[in-house]
Amino acid sequence: MDHAPAPTLLIEPTLDLRDKIELTRLKPMIEETPALRNIMGVAKTRDGSNKQGIKLFPGGVLILGGANSAASLRQMPIRYVICDEADAFPWDIGGEGDPMGLIAGRQTTFPRRKTLEISTPTIKDASRIDEDFERGDQRRWVMPCPHCTEEVAFRWKLLQWTRTPEGVVSACWYVCEHCGGEIEESHKPHMLAAGRWLPTAKPKVAGWRSYHINALYYPIGLGLSWMELAQEWLDAQSDPAKLKRFINTRLGEAWEDRSRDLKPRIIAQRAEAYAVRDIPPGCLLLTCGIDTQDDRLAIQVLGWGASEQAWVIDWLEIPGDPARMFRDAMKQQGAFYDYLNKPFRNAWGKDMRIAAYAIDSGGHFTHEVYGFVRSRCLPRLMAIKGASQSGKPVLSPRPRPMDVTSRGRTIKKGVMLWMVGADTAKHWVHNRLVADAGVEPEARRLRFPAGLDEDYYLQLLGEVFDPEKNRWVKRRGRRNEALDTLGYAVAASQHPEVRVHRLRKRDWEALSRTLEPGEAADAESVKDNKQEPANDDKPKRKRRTGGKRGGFVKNW
């Protein structure tokens, strides 16, 4: 606007966002930048020339558009175009095609046109910026290593850190890929200043430049420190949404769903020496997921230990009419009830009962499931239903009261229905399966017994995540109850009186003392706590137990 004024179009993903950006970003920038303040001052609000979305300045005009509005992109010939958050642009606006095509049409009269596309990348194979970055010469900011002076571009995998046993990052440094020297964050200001953009590829389109930068480059004091980034990364490991956000916004990379590469045969090879229904050491709590089919019930029991490590304990299908099985169970009879009610015995001869059950109420037996749950014939038995929206928590924080119809009689608000983020649970399962690749059994996040049949693993991988539709889809001809029931068992683990995901080391130790007497507490705990410090002289806080309703640990 000051150096080479020309008609300029700034496009935000939507018109709403455009208005917001104009007020919160553009206006302060113009007011606080002397060069811009001067030129904008000339054409001040006379005859409405600087109305919303249009800013006149000597030699040019700045138009603000929204990529969701074809009209706002079709104003006049434009020399410079700035596309902000281009990954959020639609691929087609109102049947007129790609907004980028409409924009290019406005620029053709200017031989010295320029287009600047800026974005956080989103999902691999669906990301505009990722594609356009790869089309260009892929420049990265390289800087001399303070030790060997070879040029380095900051890459996430070369950041190193140490952690306290509580998992808090306590130190952080970067390793030079050339000399192995340790680069401290305090080296950064000098390095940044001595750097340059280095093309790393031949552009696929002549003159197409592309640039990549990530959060490791944040100047000190502007954005997160390396330690804060490492902590954010660690905290994101158990949450696919957080992990995706980290990879997109901090690493500046497109999210690639790795679950497509999982194969049933490979997962089946992870089966360990413990038998189905055996309780391995370290497994201290059980939850159960039940799926209702027209001619059978599918059941999966999941075991839990410190750090939310999970074991598949059992998987079975009971053939028969579900309505009849529920009726029998309410009378505390039948194979289905007997199975669920029977305690499991661990290697110390201690009996363990299932702490919570989640049963799917979707399908053809909704009211039968409601009746079964209402009977309270099992403790912490929850009726669940898959949430229709994606990205919901594995278990909704608050259940909804539902009417129950039983033998022609309606009981108002007779049962509580819990919504389950089934897609979130599936991400949970797949993330663990992916993360466990090449990991020793003791350190795996999801462990399998010997003796599960091939069909179990086929069903476990019976669905694949479609990032474009943002939902899970069944693989052709596959059943998926093993995956569903595993997800339900995960949901059951978050019952407010159980809350496996909120249990602390101390809670697990207390469980271990009860269930594994004589065993050194916490033998199965996480591996990377090398430097166990002398924390014992710290004042001990009172042991936290499960939910508000108090003390599930002592109920066991």
- CA–CA separation, 270 vs 462, rounded Å? 18
Question: How far lies 370's CA from each of 2, 14, 382, 451, in Å?
Answer: 69, 44, 9, 33
Name the segment binding Zn ion (CB under 5 A); options: 32-40, 58-66, 146-154, 255-263: 146-154
The residue within the footprint of Zn ion, chosen from 5, 53, 165, 181 (CB under 5 A), is 181
Q: In whole angstroms, how close is the CB of 252 to Zn ion at the nearest point?
A: 23
Q: In whole angstroms, how close is the CB of 150 to Zn ion at the nearest point?
A: 5
Nearer to Zn ion, 172 or 381 (CB): 172
Strand 400-406 with 409-420, pairing: antiparallel
Instruction: Enumerate the β-bridge partners of residue 298.
Output: 291, 317
Nearer to Zn ion, 150 or 403 (CB): 150
DSSP letters, 139-200, are EEEEEE-TTT--EE---GGGEEEEE-TTS-EEEEEEE-TTT-PEEPGGGHHHHHHT-EEEE-
The residue within the footprint of Zn ion, chosen from 102, 176, 192, 335 (CB under 5 A), is 176
Q: In whole angstroms, how close is the CB of 216 to Zn ion at the nearest point?
A: 16
SS3 assignment for 440-453: CHHHCCEEEEECCC
- CA–CA separation, 441 vs 181, rounded Å? 33
Q: In whole angstroms, how close is the CB of 182 to Zn ion at the nearest point?
A: 9
Q: In whole angstroms, how close is the CB of 197 to Zn ion at the nearest point?
A: 20
Q: In whole angstroms, how close is the CB of 116 to Zn ion at the nearest point?
A: 33
The residue within the footprint of Zn ion, chosen from 178, 345, 469, 502 (CB under 5 A), is 178
Q: Report the candidate in 108, 103, 96, 97 with the shortest Cα–Cα distance to residue 82.
A: 103
551: phi then psi, degrees, rounded to nearest 5:
55, 55
DSSP letters, 51-74, are -TTEEEETTEEEEEEETT-HHHH-
- CA–CA separation, 83 vs 65, rounded Å? 9
Contact between 366 and 294 under an 8 Å Cβ cutoff? The reply is no
Map residues 252-291 to x or -, x wherever contact with Zn ion holds by CB under 5 A. Answer: ----------------------------------------
Instruction: Enumerate the β-bridge partners of residue 419.
Output: 385
The residue within the footprint of Zn ion, chosen from 113, 147, 242, 478 (CB under 5 A), is 147
SS3 of residue 22 by DSSP = helix
Name the segment binding Zn ion (CB under 5 A); options: 140-148, 198-206, 437-445, 496-504: 140-148
Contact between 512 and 284 under an 8 Å Cβ cutoff? The reply is yes
Name the segment binding Zn ion (CB under 5 A); options: 118-126, 173-181, 235-243, 345-353: 173-181
Nearer to Zn ion, 85 or 151 (CB): 151
Nearer to Zn ion, 193 or 520 (CB): 193
Name the segment binding Zn ion (CB under 5 A); options: 141-149, 157-165, 206-214, 279-287: 141-149
Nearer to Zn ion, 88 or 176 (CB): 176
The residue within the footprint of Zn ion, chosen from 23, 29, 54, 148 (CB under 5 A), is 148
Q: In whole angstroms, how close is the CB of 152 to Zn ion at the nearest point?
A: 7
Q: In what order do the strands lie in the sheet with 400-406?
A: 271-275, 446-450, 309-319, 296-305, 285-292, 354-360, 381-386, 409-420, 400-406
- CA–CA separation, 438 vs 444, rounded Å? 9
Tokens of 89: 């642009």
The residue within the footprint of Zn ion, chosen from 73, 83, 145, 153 (CB under 5 A), is 145
Nearer to Zn ion, 43 or 176 (CB): 176
Nearer to Zn ion, 147 or 353 (CB): 147
Name the segment binding Zn ion (CB under 5 A); options: 148-156, 243-251, 274-282, 321-329: 148-156
Site size with Zn ion, rule: CB under 5 A: 7
Tell me 360's DSSP state: E
Q: In whole angstroms, how close is the CB of 236 to Zn ion at the nearest point?
A: 29
Helix (H) and strand (E) counts in the chain: 18, 25
Nearer to Zn ion, 148 or 171 (CB): 148
70 binds Zn ion (CB under 5 A): no
Nearer to Zn ion, 216 or 285 (CB): 216
- CA–CA separation, 551 vs 556, rounded Å? 9
Q: In whole angstroms, how close is the CB of 144 to Zn ion at the nearest point?
A: 8
- CA–CA separation, 251 vs 117, rounded Å? 18
The residue within the footprint of Zn ion, chosen from 6, 15, 179, 377 (CB under 5 A), is 179
Name the segment binding Zn ion (CB under 5 A); options: 109-117, 178-186, 192-200, 384-392: 178-186
Instruction: Enumerate the β-bridge partners of residue 196.
Output: 142
Q: In whole angstroms, how close is the CB of 481 to Zn ion at the nearest point?
A: 54
Nearer to Zn ion, 158 or 377 (CB): 158
What Rg, from alpha-carbon coordinates, does the chain have?
Answer: 29
Q: In whole angstroms, how close is the CB of 37 to Zn ion at the nearest point?
A: 44
Nearer to Zn ion, 186 or 389 (CB): 186
Cα-based angle 363, 365, 368 (whole degrees, multiple of 5): 150
Q: In whole angstroms, how close is the CB of 181 to Zn ion at the nearest point?
A: 4
Nearer to Zn ion, 16 or 182 (CB): 182
Burial of 425 (0-12, 13-18, 19+ CB in 10 A): buried
Q: In whole angstroms, how close is the CB of 189 to Zn ion at the nearest point?
A: 17
Nearer to Zn ion, 149 or 555 (CB): 149
Contact between 506 and 543 under an 8 Å Cβ cutoff? The reply is yes
Query: For binding to Zn ion (CB under 5 A), which residues are involved?
Result: 145, 147-148, 176, 178-179, 181
